Amino acid sequence: MSRQSSRATDPRKISQELFTLTYGALVAQLVKDYEGDEEVNKQLDKMGYNIGIRLVEDFLARSGIGRCNDFRETADIIAKSGFRMFLGVTPSVSNWSPAGDEFSLLMDNNPLTDFVELPEDHSNLNYSNVLCGVIRGALESVQMDVSVRFVQDTLKGDNQTEIRVKFIQRLEDALPAGEE
C-alpha cells in the first residue's frame, strides 16, 4: 500500500493539466483542419462564444453576483472573479480608454499556454483566441455587446498577454410579441 500512496497526485493539478492539454489538442486539430491562421482564430472565437454563454450561467449561479452597475465593475468581475474561478489566474485591468468604454486584461501567466510553443509558420495564430469568444459570449448573455481581441501574446514573444475589451452597446430584453 505504501507504493500506492507515493503515486497519489494532486487531483487539482490534474484538472489543470487535463484542461490545458485538451485545449492544445483542439488547437492542433483546428490547425490541421483549416487552411489559414485567420480561419483557426475565427473558429476558436466561435467556440469560445458557445462556451461563454454557458459558462456565464455557471458563474452567476455559483458566485451569486448580480447585475453590474457600470463597465468598470464588469471589468473587475471578469478579472477578479471570472478568470480566477475558471482559470485560477487574476489578470490586471488597465489601459482604460478616456471614454471608459475600453480596457485591457493583462496576464503575466496564461494557463492555456503552459508547455506551448507556437510553430514558426503560424505567426498569425492567436493560440488562446477562445478567451475572446468566451468573454464576448459571457457578456452578451448579461446584455452587453462587446468586441474582444488579442493585442499582445507571450507566445509571440511579447512580455505579457493583453486582451482588449471594447464596449459597443447595451442589449435590451426582447419586446413582447406584437409590440413595437
Interface with other proteins by CB under 8 A: which residues? 3-4, 6-9, 11-26, 28-29, 33, 43, 47, 50-51, 53-58, 60-62, 64-68, 85-88, 111, 141-143, 173-179
Are β-strands 92-94 and 161-170 bridged in parallel, bridged antiparallel, or unpaired?
A: unpaired
Residue 28, all three cell numbers: 492542433
Closest CA to 20 of 87, 83, 111, 82: 111
The distance in angstroms from the start CA to the end CA of the chain is 72
Q: Can you tell me the distance from the alpha carbon of 117 to that of 23, in angstroms, rounded to the nearest whole number?
A: 14
Minimum separation from the CB atom of position 94 to other proteins (A): 24
**Which of residues 21 and 97 has its CB atom nearest to other proteins in the complex?**
21
Instruction: Output 130 or 163, the one with its CB closest to other proteins.
Output: 130
In the complex, the smallest distance separating the C-beta of residue 37 from other proteins, rounded to whole angstroms, is: 17
Q: Which CB sits closer to other proteins, 33 or 158?
A: 33
